[in-house]
Chain A
Amino acid sequence: MQMSRSKGKNKKWLILSLITVMCLGLLSACGAKNESGDNPEGAANGGNKGAQGNEVTLRFMTWDSGQTLQPYQNAINAFMEKHPDIKVKVESVPDNYDQKLLTSLASGTAPDVFMAWNYPLYVPGGALEDMQTWVDKDSYDLGKYYPILMDYMKYDEKLWGLPTTYSTRAIYYNKSLFDEAGVPYPQDGWKWDEFVDTVQKLTKPGQYGFIMTPDDVMTMQPYVWSNGGDMVSDDGKTVEGVLNSAENIETMTFLKQLYDASSKINSAGKFSTNNGLESFLTGQIAMFDNGMWPLGDILKEGKLDIGTVTHPLPEGGSLKGIIHTSGYSMPKSGKNKEAAWELIKFMSGEEGIKIITANKFAFSPVISVDEENGYASDPYLEAFAKELEGSDKLIAGMRNESWSEAEDMIRAGVQAIFYNNADIKSTLDDAAKQAQAVLK
């Protein structure tokens, strides 16, 4: 009796410890796997260098993936052909790019070359390589780029990257929906009133003339600028008195009209700059505001008969387009900076940019290539090109590192105006005060 009981107990303990050991084994197995997953990469990097003397493998990180990655991949392939001793490994990170980049910069594992746009966010940590030193060393000619684009490569009066491509934004319209409603197509230089009127005429059950959402504060800037206003002072420090200016009250009144005239869609707070692409493609929206990126696909599919037109203007206002662009940068801690600089020069220079911007993929930051491509006279791209001409402003996000937080305050204000018909002047006053507190 006694014997058997203690035996039973022993058995229980045996099983218990077995289970524990197994579980622990699982844990450690996971850990080991991760480590061994990382190792070959490092080994390969080091090994390459060792074995073939001077062969270098560069890591290149981009947010593009799939179809939008292809043009860049083409250029990289051309680069590798030209430089047989440099290998480029592309790392595509379509989601949480900033997060990934910042983590890798912080931990010293950043890729040798990466795409970047949010310099106010990356620069203050001191992890980025000052690009000016490389430009000076090579006497690289920056004069070949559009000056306004170079402003986007700078923060704190220093140069942090060389431009990749750029796109402005314009209004796409669905011609068949216009024909159906008997409304004439919009013409460049049209006015705000006409826009509201057109939106009204094209809005009916199941169809919206335009989607104006309060969530996308960034793309409201062309309207704000063309009416002579701004969201923050040029130095990025003052919001009070700038955001709540008399001009901006006019602009906000217009945007509210636009919202009321069309969808009244509360696009559920997904702060996306692609808002409405799907709905536009399915013919639910007659007009929508976007960069040139979807154009190629729309034309290739050929299902929609579309046109493009510049942003409408206020009485007496002038066109001031918004620019989407990014740069190639490298980390201060990079180990292959020479090779990285070669890659950046190639990608941002005439040779690479010609490959990347082929087939109307994007505009070229190099003026001569842009002219050679001739996109400015393309019927679909003309509007986008015109938007660049008058553009002389940096987006607010490029002027202050805390802008994304300030923008949250402004967004909440715009939401109150749009959804709850809040008084425009006092709401902008409050939002300006709150945003000012964030920027300090």
Chain B
Amino acid sequence: MVYLSPVLALVLSLLAGVVLFYIMGVSPLAALHAFFIEPLSTGYGLAELGVKATPLVLIGVALALGFKAGVWNIGAEGQLTMGALCGSLVALYFYDQDGFYILPLMLIAGVLGGMAWAAIVAFLRVRFNANEILTSLMLSYVAGLFLNLMVHGPLKDPEGFNFPESRQFSESALLPIILDGTRLHVGAVIALLVVAWGWMILSRTLLGYQIKVAGSAPEACEHAGFSFSGIIWTTLLLSGGVAGLAGIIEVSGPIGQLLPNISPGYGFTAIIVAYVGRLHPIGVLFAGILLALTYLGGETAQIQLNLPVAVTGVFQGLLLFFLLASDVLIRYRVQFGKARLAVENK
């Protein structure tokens, strides 16, 4: 049932989607085709799926580690933004140079930027007991405004006719394309490595064990001598770092420069990804691809059927709802007829 419930949730969301499209006066079949079949019918579409899935899978894995420990970092969007910003600083510093060292430096700066932003959350939680849900979310808004400020000010392209955009990154600051004729870049490989890394941590290390204990039995965690503060710090730094990595990958991959808006809410959608993936790195991989498909399908449906892009958000919300609802089947057994006492069942 644990692995069946995401499938059940998907089926229910599709049914709800049919109703939604019917109400909107669009042929449900045509809409579902545009949403879920059309994008997958070409090689380019499949590559785009990889491009969109990359940040979702990256952040999804990172968040899953935290959620498993009961650390609610929902500010991945802000950590993504700060990672993108810090990595871009490197790219813009070396804008007129070529070198193999630029890209690795950018990725490292991206990770550090995301980590630093998450470190604030960890510090406030551990030192001052401030709720990480609220602080991480507030910091997301701050990060978005900060990026906006930078792109309108110091990082604006001097030759850019006053548009709020940075310089285009130089060739050696762009992630190599791994499939000719598409936008699929090395970031997708990095995402797969992070999935493997997340799986290693959770199933093969002491840290992974501590994370699981902290989440499922906080008291046991304390009695075992695991430091909960340490787990908060570790999970937040890890998830912030990976979110920052996703940010710089996004900027140096498909975008190629800093813009005021660099993510269509990947950091928030990754929360759904983590849940639909059952907080398991392999599951997150599939969930990331599924939710990437909702973004891609939303764009296709907009072009073909003139459907608003907002349908994507509704669909994503529905998916999470149905998943949470079908989880009841994991924890409880549905009994029909008269309720019986547990002893009678023997």
Do A and B assemble together? no
